[in-house]
Amino acid sequence: MKPLVSIILVSYNTAEHTCKALQSVQEQTQQSHEIIVVDNKSSDNSVALIRTAFPSIQLIESSENLGFAGGVRKGVEQAQGNYLLLLNPDTVVLDGAIDKLLNFAEQQPKHGIWGGVTLNNDLSLNTQHAWSKPDFASLLFSALGLSKLFSSSCLFNYANYGCWQRDTVKEVDILSGCFFLIKRQVWDELGGLDPTFFMYAEEADLCLRAKAQGYQPIVTPDARIIHHGGVSHSRFSGKLIKLLKGKVELINRHISEWKRPIFKALLWLYVFNKYAIHRLLKPRSEQTQEWQTVYQARDHWLKGYSA
């Protein structure tokens, strides 16, 4: 009998976190499911640890690092569920969150893509699970630091839905791939995640393509998980460069051609301002060196992933 949902995790040097995530899935999920872990050629003991601790799951060892999108696609090839749940390895499932998300999807079938709310390790809200489509104002407010300064503002931080308290159901433009439920039929119709996006913004691209086809991503506040974030990156600069490349690729694909140079200039301004402020206030700090690395790589990330 086919499972209701295929839960797919992509692991890369996250052995301890991945095992905690898998344990929480098994403890907190009653609905019919299968678990598929794709290991992106980790250099730690991920494969051996997962195979020993969780012999019943499907473990796929990739011969190369395929990135998040490529890893998920490899997992989907083996998936049998009517739903696909993308779950980051640095998460902890709380209070039957997967069951609650599946029940919500069954109640709201027309949406095609569903998500929950993420929390920090101390169970405070982590708002980095839903965003609006990038536009001039949101990128400008981010570049000037206003979105961070007024993080609870609907005006200055509407890119991250700043005034939404995460206590109501909400339709959004973009859902994070860390806890991302999609109907298998919708995945197949849209072609899934585009592997051109090695890491970051691949789920944003999929959500925007889905919206264009009439599938509106939606969030329920009842399904909640802990998301640590960024544990597969040893350096801040490496993560941010990939993030910026993803944002540029998203701009290249979903923003009108005449607007693209303006939006990219605002991303450049964001990085320049961060680097300048750190250099002024903490000239010898490690953070300043990291921002310098990102700024110096601007010709690289401003091309996006396609280049």
Residues 50-93 have pLDDT tens digits of 999 999 999 999 999 999 999 999 999 999 999 999 999 999 99
Q: pTM for this structure?
A: 0.94
What pLDDT does 51 receive? Answer: 94
The stretch 287-297 carries a mean pLDDT of: 96
| Same domain (yes/no): 117, 266 | no
Q: Tell me the two tokens of residue 216.
A: 């509106």
Asked if residue 148 and residue 109 are part of one domain, the reply reads no
What DSSP designation does 47 have? Answer: H
Q: Please, which residues bridge with residue 117 across strands?
A: 224
CB 49 within 8 A of CB 37: no
Residue 306 lies in a domain: no
Segment 245-263 mean pLDDT: 97
139 within 8 A of 145, measured Cβ to Cβ:
no
pLDDT at 42: 92
Name the CA dihedral angle for 229, 233, 237, 243, rounded to a multiple of 10 degrees: -60
Residue 229 pLDDT grade (very low, low, confident, very high; cuts 50, 70, 90): confident
**Is 81 within 8 Å of 178 (Cβ atoms)?**
no
| Domain with 82 in it | 5-132+172-227
Query: What is the domain-level CATH number for residue 78?
Result: 3.90.550.10
113 and 76 within one domain: yes
Same domain, 110 and 218: yes
Q: What is the pLDDT of residue 231?
A: 59
User: Per-residue pLDDT tens for 166-213?
Assistant: 999 999 999 999 999 999 999 999 999 999 998 899 999 999 999 999
Residues in a beta bridge with 182: 84, 113
Segments in the chain forming alpha helices (H): 15-28, 46-53, 67-76, 97-107, 136-143, 146-149, 184-190, 202-212, 236-254, 260-281, 286-296, 298-301
Asked whether residue 68 falls in the same domain as residue 121, the answer is yes
Residue 232 has pLDDT above 90, yes or no: no
Instruction: Indicate if 209 and 258 belong to the same structural domain.
Output: no
The 3-class secondary structure across 113-124, one letter per residue, is EEEEEEECCCCC
Please check whether residue 78 is in contact with residue 147, taking contact to mean a CB–CB distance below 8 angstroms: no
Within a domain: residue 23? Answer: yes
| 143 pLDDT tier (thresholds 50, 70, 90) | very high
Given 163, 181, 209, the domain boundary residue is 163
Q: Are residues 78 and 222 in the same domain?
A: yes
Phi/psi region, residue 59 (left: phi>0; alpha: psi -120 to 50; beta: rest), is beta
Domain assignment of residue 307, yes or no: no
Task: Report yes or no on 156 lying in a domain.
Answer: yes
Looking at residue 234, its pLDDT comes to 62
Q: Which of 17, 38, 7 is nearest to 102 (CA)?
A: 7
Q: Do both 124 and 137 map to the same domain?
A: no
193/66 same-domain check = yes
Same domain, 33 and 180: yes
Claim to verify: residue 28 and residue 109 sit in the same structural domain: yes
Residues 153 and 266 in one domain: no
Tally of domains within the chain: 3
